[in-house]
Structure 1
Amino acid sequence: MADEQEDFSALPLPDRFIHKNWKVRKEGYEAAAKEFDLAASEHDPVVRQFINDAGIWKGVVGDSNVAAQQEGLGALCSFLQIAGREGATRTRQMTVSTIAEKGLPSTRAAAKQKSLEALMLYIEMDKPDPIIEELLPVLSNKQPKVIAATLDALAQIYHAYGCKTIEPKSVLKVLPKVYGHADKNVRAKAQELTVEFYRWLKEAMKPLFWNDLKPVQQQDLDKLFEKVKDEPPPKQERLLRSQQAAKEAAVATAGAEEYVEEEEEAVIDLEPEYEAVDVIALVPKDYNERLGSSKWKDRKEALEEVQKALNHPAIAEGQFDDLVRGFAKCMKDANIAVVTTAANCVELLARGLRRSFAKYRSTIMNPMMERLKEKKQSVTDAIGAALDAVFASTNIADCLEEIIGFLTHKNPQVKLESTRFLIRCLKTARDAPSLPEVKAISDAATKLLTESSEVQRSAGAEVFGTLWKIMGDRIMNAHLDPLDEIRKTKIKEYYEVAEVRAKYKPKPVAPPKPVAAPAGKKPAGKRPGGGVKKPAPAPAAAAPPPQEDTAPLAPKPTSRPGVSKLGGPKSGLAAPSRLGGLKKPAAAAAASPRRPVVSPPLDEQPPPPQPKLGLTPGRGLAGRPLGRPAAEPAQAPAAPSGLSLVERAELDELRAEVERLRRQNEEVRSERTKLTSQIHELQNQNAQLIEDHTRDVLSIKAKETQLVRARSDYEAAEQTVQNQRREVDRLKRELSRQVRATSPPPADVSEQIYADSNAGGRFVDSGYGTGGMYGGGARNNRATYASTHQQAPLSPGDEGKENVDSLSRSGSIMSGKLSPGRGVGASSVKSSFSSRNGRNSPAEMTGNGASGGYESNRTSAAAGAESWKRAAEVTQNLKQRIEMMKAKQGIGRQQQ
């Protein structure tokens, strides 16, 4: 047995990995783990043979013996730690699914822990997406314990690396299917994974899967969410190798804080991926014509067809200028149904195009915010949703100017809805506003706090609270200090409950870079075998300070500027002669600022170069011993100090330039803000003028309509008057015909009656008879009737009354004079009536026919009196109606 064990240990590790004896395999796994732990790098031969033979690991992690499998998983973990990215990428396709099916559901806790660690290492070595893709098919396994173990592993993976490192969308999409599993353990693990997602994503994850769950499942999850809702945001516990390298590089450059801040500012993209649809072909061809129809139903139907065409999650880019201009025009429509439908179309187009919609923002945003004056909540909700979609395609810097302009709108409804829109923008913004933008928002919110409406003041306080949550105390204290305590308390309440996505992070100041010597310059020192010196030329701005009377003399320039040739053995004697004409360094610099100042040699041996700035006051060349063999080593680095002064001067100049440019930039921004405000003001004035013009046009049209109606009424009245006049004429003619047919003419009857009244006794007593009545009596009666009517003319309204009175008088006279006791007079009257009418012959007027003629005349006289009464009444009624119509016509003319 001992021989067999020695033989097994002598076998190569790959052969021991595939041995039929589980104990040999187990020992091989343990030996391999030790070898991997002792390996120096991934290029070690032991590591390379398992990288090249990656398929061997599938049997290791799926070993049939649980004890050997546990050691095999440990060997895989050791291998991944040393093999790096190459070992992970070559082996993960063979091992991940096997680990999920046989390692994670293992009955041994150590095996489960090592399986999870192996998955973590696969993610750490390279990237997490391939591992998640390998684990998702396992969720459809037939065994519930495998599914539950995989869900538990996913929850721990996301807990360690976070949703910012590992994309959560693919897992969120399969959650509804897992929630429909029959096993309660699977559903419980799915709830744990969902709660872990909620820690990272909050409410933003719900649109991806929430509607596919049952109401009972949603209620259970809401209860679980309440427990972790108030927990602080989680942080990534494990880093990828790439993240570790970036962090180490940041630490090496003293910028570790920058790396951490960038990681915190990473944004989790939960937008589902859809295939873009070309919707331009789906828009009706006659869209513009139908949108310009005078009927609101036609316009609404056209917009509904466009809305149906735009109802796609992703829209391919194209030319949507005509559509957007049409939507902007519809924002001014008088029908709110058209406005609501247009706002829905804008929302769909903005969400479908996403960032590509930013170029249409300036066309549609202003009309939509202007239409916020609508008081119906459904309209403002539709416009608000469209504005949110438009803002999602841009950023707060692009929209802030227009929003600030509408915060001072004269319409309170527009002002309030614009404030609420600004609050939503601050909460959903991905980037924190800049400091000038913070000042503009704070100034506008301060004005809102002084509004008379409590709702508007609360909205202004919420703007402050939300902005405070983004920017922090240090930035906002300057804007909050001028406010009173009551308003600060209100703002504090909104600050505590505000939920924002952006956080202001001040940019760290970069450490000063070490000043490097300019190219071509070497530090001062002794050069063997030569006495050539290259001093650094000092510009006029960096001229050295004035020294004492002794200073090095500026030599004449040679063929190489700045270099002086050292003298021979006579240099020691020549030195005193050259010291006689020394100048002060300041004077020398003023005389020739471009010529370098070089110290001449003082000894046969070339001394090290002395920098001109190294001379101390009161000590020049004459005060220095000539036989000194070496320079003071402490003064050698003085040359770079001159360069440092030069750089410092340049740096000061650059700073001044930056400050000047910054001031110019602020002036340009303020000018731009002023011009923008003027533009908004002019736009508002233009809109007001358009509205006034529209109102005037409508008023003029209303007046014209009233005028047309009055004219038609006048024409109808005129036609009625003419009809009435014709009717009066017809009745008069009819009346005259009836009178002629039934009685003597009215003039003859009246004449006879008046003649009888005035000279009745004369006809009887005088005995004129019939001839006298026809002679003077008739003439007298006519004269009397004419004189009576001339002396007392009647008014138009009294004509009928006069007729009636005359008839009554004639009736009374006739009844008195044509009585039976007066046979002669009656017969005379009868004879006169008959002769006047031409109906009776002279023979009929004899005494024999007197009684018969009297009776017939009496009957005809009574019938004539009744006919005259009826005619007088009809005439009176007609005259009254004519007067009433004339009066109405006169009133109509006065109104016109």
Structure 2
Amino acid sequence: MADAAEDFSALPLPDRFSHKNWKVRKEGYEDAKQQFEKTPDESDPVFAPFIQDPGLWKGAVADSNVAAQQEGLGSYCAFLKFGGVKACTRTRATTVYPIVEKGLPQTRPAAKQNAIEALLLCVELDKADPVIEEILPGLSHKTPKVIAATLAGLRTIYHNFGCKIVDPKPVLKALPKVFGHADKNVRAEAQNLTVELYRWLKEAIKPLFWGELKPVQQGDLEKLFEGVKQEPQPKQERLTRAQQDAMAAASAAPAAGDGEEEAEEYLEEEDAAEVDAFDLAEPVNVISKIPQDLLDQLASSKWKDRKDALDALYSALNVPRIKDGPFDDYVRALAKCMKDANVAVVTVAANCIDLLAKGLRNAFFKHRATVMSPIMERLKEKKQSVSEALGQALDSVFISTSLSDCLEETLEFLKHKNPQVKQETLKFLIRCLRTTRDVPAKAEVKSIADAATKLLTESTEVNRAGGAEILGTLMKIMGERAMNPYLDGLDDIRKTKIKEFFETAEVKAKDRPKPVVAPKAAPAGRKPIGGAKKPALGMKKPAPSVAPPAEEPVAAPSPPKPRSIPSKLAGPRAGGLPTPGAGLKLQKKLGGPGGLASPQRRVVSPPSEDQPPAPAGPKFGLGRGLAGRPIAKPATTSEPAPAPAAPQMSGMSAAERAELEELRLGKERFTRTVEDLKSERTKLNSQVTELQNQNAQLIEDHTRDVLSIKAKETQLVRARSDAESAEQTVQKQQREIERLKRELARALRASAMSPPNTMSDNFNMPLPETSVYQDPSNSGGLPRAGLHMGPRFESGRPRSYASASPSEEKENNGGMESPGIGSRDGSFGRRKFSPSYGAGYSGLGSPTRSSVLGSGSASGEDQPARGGEGAENWKRAAEVTSQLKARIEQMKARQGLSRQPAQR
């Protein structure tokens, strides 16, 4: 048996993989796994037989023996892990379905784990689409256990890689079929997979399969979704090989920060790219669903017809993805609806634009110019529902285009005279900066920053806060360094506000070139401090460019000798050398800000180390340490005089350097003072601007108050005149009432004293006149002016008429009361009658009712009276009295009502 075992181990691995003995196969799987793990790279020859013959793995992952299959799956995992992309692409078409059919339903935990790991490695090494395509036939398997295991494997893949790496569309289309399976385990695993997809896609999964589920299943899924809605957006737990390479490149990049932060930002951006319904849905041709008479209905004069037409269009456009077509006429009609007087029509039209832009996405770009300006012009509407619909339409238009396309019109409407339009445009620009994935160009950044800076000086707090938020959001995108030039002129309060918005802003675009610049690569070659290229500038003055720095460090520790020092502004000295001050200035130019500014720095990095092969040149000092070393390049030397150089250099360094340092400090102080004055001036300018705005607001308020006071004074004057006219009317009515009262009292006295006229039996002639109104003061009870009945003869002609009132009677009689009876004889002969009939208010003034004894004849003789007319006249007088009383009461009531408003 030992010999047989040795013979089996000596067989090649492909032969052992296909051996009929399961133990030989198992040992072959184990040996292959060990050899794969020991390989140095993916090009090792041990992988070649298995790449050339992928069928070897088909038997290994689906081995009939459970123990051998477990080892075969483990060996295949090692093959994929160490064999690389080529090992995956050559074998996945042969191994994935056998793993799904035989490996995933395995009862052994180790075997099942190896099967899942093999599928995950296939997805990780290359693309997920071919793997999912090989897995999906497992959902149609006749064994429910295989279907449930396939669903569990898919859930694991989506859990590790997410829906951005693994396309969920094929799986979502297959879900309704498994939800209708008879096995409860299959339905349970289908629910788990759906919940996992909902974690990544949220509501975007519903348009593809939700309508094919039963209401009970929809209800159960909704309950499961409730527990997932509150969870944060999931992140990818396992990276593909491409992502790993990108992370490695980001970590190895010589950036200002460490590479781990760059890799984390890269992963965050990958996770932030969510999959929406547009990516999952199929394009729908909605042109056929739009009513044919839509444009005619939109031109109707009735708003109800226009709204109904837009509702029909909304129903047709309400799909996740729209197939591009001839929408030009409809878009122009929707843009025209933005000017409609009815807000309901405007709202539905904005919703239609929103759906059309979302459904077409990039294809809506050509319609942007048609609808954007009308929508922004209609932002003046203050109704909340209308402004929200318009804002949503603008957001969808922006998503279908880009920030650069929309920026010009947006900045133009930021200057709109309507404050409501300006505020809504401001909010739209902030939303654009938050959601854009494209970093704005420098020119666009400048235009945005300039517009936002102008908003900081607005009189309203909303606009000022909006301007600060724009600058803070833009700073989040571009970085603090890039925004410093736009914040220099602002005061500390506004800078603090902008900083707050910068810290809280959430953006999707970040300017990567700024941190990735290579500032650290340049310091590595920090050799040219006064060397290589810079000495070329000193060809005219070769020695001074390097000689003074070498002499200064030695002269500093030695005590200077008291001597007269020439001015630093003097010209070149003898021997062709410039003054020490000029050498220091040239040295400062060559060294730069961090080079040879201080003596200590010059000692640390002597230029002599940059030029070790230079030949020995003339020495400027003997026995002076470093001063005797050759410093300058000998190529341009021309034998300077060595004798006067040493004392000049040693005499200059102490005093002249002190003066230079003093001047440098003075210059720094002056520069700081200038900067402080500039900042103070900026603050004062901002305060002046704010005070001007406040002054303008106060002037406007004062003008409004003055106009209000004048309006109140005008109303008061009018009210006083109305009150005076009402008082006059009341006085007039009171006088009329008093007069009527007097007339009534006179009528009552007359009616109480005069008895009814009857015919006298002693006389054959009738009573010629009957008066209801009689004056008791008249002797003999004769009637006075009042109701006179009877004819009067003047100039042989009879005339009778009734006056309307006592006042008219006075006017007819020349202002005098009618005398009633002019003369009376004892035989009651002839009488002269008044030309008027009294009682104008009772109705007795009519000739038919007032002529009791009849009308006068042409000859002037009285007519004979009728027997019963006296009593009838008395009754009529009583009726007149009662009517007068009723009318007086009515007039009093009216006077009381009119007097109350006047008093009020």
Pairwise TM-score range, normalised by the shorter structure? 0.5 to 0.7
Q: Tell me, what secondary structure is at the counterpart of 1:334?
A: coil
Q: 1:318 to 1:184 in 2, by over 3 A?
A: closer
How far apart are residue 504 of structure 1 and its match?
Answer: 6.2
Where does 1:687-726 land on structure 2 (aligned, <5 Å)? none
Change (3 A) 1:169 1:64: same
Task: Give 1:345 shift.
Answer: 2.5
- Matched residues in 2 for 1:206 and 1:426: separation? 30
**How far apart are the structure 1 equivalents of 2:853 and 2:859?**
10
Residue among 212, 218, 226 paired with 2:222? 218
Q: Report deviation, 1:495.
A: 7.7
Q: Report deviation, 1:421.
A: 4.4
Q: TM-score, normalised by structure 2?
A: 0.52
**Which of 292, 305, 325 is the matching residue for 2:299?**
292
3-state DSSP of counterpart to 1:106: coil
Q: 1:405 to 1:548 in 2, by over 3 A?
A: closer
Cα distance per residue 1:552-602 (max 9 Å; x no partner):
xxxxxxxxxxxxxxxxxxxxxxxxxxxxxx9999xxxxxxxxxxxxxxxxx
What residue identity is the alignment partner of 1:49?
Answer: P
**Change over 3 Å in CA distance of 1:131–1:83 after alignment to 2:** same
Whether contact under 8 Å (2:207, 2:320) holds in the other structure is no
What corresponds to 1:87 in structure 2? 87
Partner residue, 2:166? 166
Partner of 2:100: 100
Question: Which residue number in structure 2 is paired with residue 813 of structure 1?
Answer: 857
- What amino acid does structure 2 have at the position aligned with 1:269? V
Alpha-carbon distance between aligned partners in 2 of 1:104 and 1:40, rounded to the nearest angstrom: 31
Q: 1:207 to 1:542 in 2, by over 3 A?
A: farther
Report the Cα offset of residue 132 of structure 1: 2.2
The alpha-carbon distance between structure 1 residues 501 and 583, as it changes in their structure 2 partners (threshold 3 A), is: closer
Query: 2:201, 2:275 within 8 Å by CA — same for their partners in 1?
Result: no
Kindly tell me: are residues 164 and 308 of structure 1, through their superposed partners in 2, closer, same or farther at Cα, counting changes over 3 Å?
closer
Local SS of the residue matching 1:85: helix
Contact 2:449 2:471 in 1 (8 A): no
Q: Give the structure 1 partner of residue 275 of structure 2.
A: 269
8 Å contact 1:77–1:121 — kept in the other structure? yes
Distance 1:407 1:172, change over 3 A: farther
TM-superposed CA distance for 1:118, in Å, is 1.4
Correspondence 1:482 to 2:493: yes
1:184-263 equivalences under 5 Å are 214-226=218-230, 229=231, 236-249=236-249, 254=254, 256=259, 261-263=265-267
| 1:745-799 Cα shifts (integer Å, max 9, x gaps) | xxxxxxxxxxxxxxxxxxxxxxxxxxxxxxxxxxxx999669999x99x9xxx9x
Query: Counterpart of 2:32 in structure 1: which amino acid?
Result: A
Contact kept, 8 Å, 2:614 with 2:634, in 1: the verdict is no
Q: Comparing 105-114 with 297-306, which one deviates more in the overlay?
A: 297-306
In structure 2, the partner of 1:620 is: 637
Aligned to 2:16: 16
Match of 1:450 among 451, 454, 461: 461
**How many Å separate the matches in 1 of 2:45 and 2:142?**
41
2:70–2:111 Cα contact (<8 Å) kept: yes
Q: For 2:440 and 2:166, how far apart are their aligned partners in 1?
A: 28
Distance 1:458 1:100, change over 3 A: farther
Quick check: 2:285–2:322 contact (8 Å CA) kept in 1?
A: yes
**Is contact 1:51–1:83 with CA below 8 Å preserved after alignment?**
no
CA offset at residue 110 of structure 1?
Answer: 1.9
CA deviations on 1:416-460 (whole Å, 9 max, x unpaired) are: 655554565455444466754467457648859725xxxx99989
* 2:165 counterpart SS class: coil
Deviation at 1:617, TM superposition (A): 7.7
Cα distance per residue 1:283-311 (max 9 Å; x no partner): 66665554333333444454455445544
Aligned mates of 1:76, 1:143 — CA distance in 2: 25
Q: Contact 1:395–1:429 (CA<8 Å) still a contact in 2? A: yes
Distance in 1 between residues matched to 2:460 and 2:145, nearest whole Å? 60
Q: Equivalent residue for 1:113?
A: 113
For residue 9 of structure 1, give the secondary structure of its aligned residue in structure 2. helix
Q: 1:545 to 1:244 in 2, by over 3 A?
A: farther
CA spacing shift, 1:144–1:802, aligned 2, 3 Å: closer
Partner SS, residue 344 of structure 1: helix
Q: Report the 3-state secondary structure (helix = DSSP H, G, I; strand = E; otherwise coil) of the residue aligned with 2:493.
A: coil
CA deviations 1:195-227 (Å, max 9, x no partner) are 65566556766766678662343233322443x
1:43 offset after TM fit, Å? 5.4
After the TM superposition, which residues 483-498 of structure 1 pair with which residues of structure 2 at under 5 Å, given as runs?
A: none
Distance 1:32-1:449 versus aligned 2 partners, 3 A rule = farther
Contact in 2 for aligned 1:152/1:189 (Cα 8 Å): yes
Matches of 1:433 and 1:154 in 2, distance apart?
Answer: 40
Alpha-carbon spacing, 1:78–1:446, altered in 2? closer, same or farther (3 Å): farther
| Corresponding letter in the other structure for 1:482 | I
Counterpart Cα distance in 2 of 1:312 and 1:188: 30
Q: 1:19 to 1:443 in 2, by over 3 A?
A: farther
For residue 546 of structure 1, what is the amino acid of its counterpart?
A: K
Query: Aligned partners of 1:449, 1:72: CA distance in 2, in Å?
Result: 74
1:219 partner amino acid? K
**Secondary structure at the counterpart of residue 371 of structure 2:** helix
- Residue from 515, 518, 531 that aligns with 1:511: 518
Other-structure match for 1:76:
76
Contact 1:448 1:460 in 2 (8 A): no
| 1:589-623 deviation per Cα after TM superposition (whole angstroms, max 9, x unaligned) | xxxxxxxxxxxxxxxxxx99999x99548983668
- The reply to whether residue 344 of structure 1 matches residue 351 of structure 2 is yes
Q: Provide closer, same or farther for how the CA distance between residues 446 and 145 of structure 1 changes in structure 2, counting only shifts above 3 A.
A: farther
Amino acid at match of 1:813: S
Equivalent residue of 1:338, what SS?
Answer: helix
2:90 match: secondary structure: helix
Go from structure 1 to structure 2 and tell me whether the alpha carbon gap of 1:547 and 1:474 turns closer, same or farther (over 3 Å shift).
closer
Q: Which residue of 1 aligns with 2:668?
A: none
C-alpha spacing 1:461/1:105, structure 2 compared with 1 (3 Å): farther
Shift of 1:157: 3.2
Q: Within the alignment, does 1:392 sit opposite 2:396 as a pair?
A: no
Q: For the Cα contact (< 8 Å) 1:462–1:495, is it kept in 2?
A: no
In 1, the alpha carbon distance for the partners of 2:399 and 2:179 equals: 32
> CA distance change for structure 1 residues 74 and 84 in 2, over 3 Å: closer, same or farther?
same
* Cα distance in structure 2, aligned partners of 1:469 and 1:514: 26
Give the aligned partner of residue 124 of structure 1.
124
How far off its partner does 1:67 sit? 0.6
Change in Cα spacing, 1:410 to 1:349, as seen in structure 2 (3 Å) is: same
**Cα 1:88–1:813 shift into 2, 3 Å:** same
- Alpha carbons 1:276, 1:316 under 8 Å: kept: yes
Provide the rounded CA distance (Å) in 2 between the counterparts of 1:540 and 1:622: 18
What displacement does 1:164 show?
A: 3.7
- Corresponding residue number in structure 2 for 1:383: 390
Superposed displacement of residue 72, structure 1: 0.8
Q: So what's the TM-score if we normalise by structure 1?
A: 0.53
| Structure 1 position 538, deviation (Å) | 10
Decide whether aligned partners of structure 1 residues 461 and 313 sit closer, same or farther in structure 2, where only a CA change above 3 A counts. Answer: same
Rounded Cα–Cα distance in structure 2 between residues aligned with 1:808 and 1:346:
93
Cα-to-partner distance string for 1:309-337 (whole Å, 9 max, x where unaligned): 54444334445333222211111112334
> Which of 367, 375, 383 lines up with 1:368 in the alignment?
375
Q: Is the 8 A contact 1:300 1:338 kept in 2?
A: yes
Q: Is the 8 A contact 1:423 1:466 kept in 2?
A: yes
Which segments of 5 or more consecutive residues in structure 1 lack a partner in the other structure?
Answer: 516-536, 550-581, 586-606, 625-780, 822-857, 859-896
% same residue: 52
How is 1:672-683 mapped onto 2 (pairs within 5 angstroms)? none
Matches within 5 A, 1:635-650: none
The aligned counterpart of 1:57 is 57
One-letter code aligned to 1:268 = E
Q: Does 1:544 align with 2:551?
A: no
Q: Quick check: 1:191–1:221 contact (8 Å CA) kept in 2?
A: no
How far did 1:194 drift? Answer: 5.7
Cα 1:296–1:199, aligned 2, differ >3 Å: closer, same or farther?
A: closer
Distance 2:615 2:24 in 1: 78
- Distance in 1 separating the partners of 2:198 and 2:296: 49
Provide the aligned length of Structure 1 versus Structure 2.
588
Q: Distance in 2 between matches of 1:499 and 1:7?
A: 68
Distance in 1, Cα, partners of 2:857 & 2:37: 159
Residue aligning to 1:32: 32
